Amino acid sequence: MAKEFTVIIEQDEEDWFIAEVPELKGCHTQAKSLDDLMERVKESIRLCLETQGKEYPKIRLVGVQKVAV
């Protein structure tokens, strides 16, 4: 059975999409299109799981909030 992970996606000033997986320390990637990004993030997750095994930190994303200052 596949494990689901949260992926946070941002876009930088040069229009690159950047993905981070909070549950897996150091698991991130980037691409010029969202389709490519999704393929790359799956590959990145697989590689992180290979190196971290089942001992990855159990982090749970609670939410995203905008704050005006």
Residue 52 reports pLDDT greater than 90? no
Q: How many domains does the chain have?
A: 1
| Reported pTM | 0.81
**Residue 22 vs residues 6, 13, 19, 59, 68: alpha-carbon distances, Å:** 7, 22, 10, 7, 24
- What pLDDT does residue 64 have? 84
11-39 pLDDT tens trace: 999 999 999 998 888 899 999 999 999 99
For residue 1, the enclosing domain spans: 1-69
Q: 40 or 51: which carries more pLDDT confidence?
A: 40
pLDDT, the chain, mean: 90
Domain at 11, CATH number? 3.30.160.250
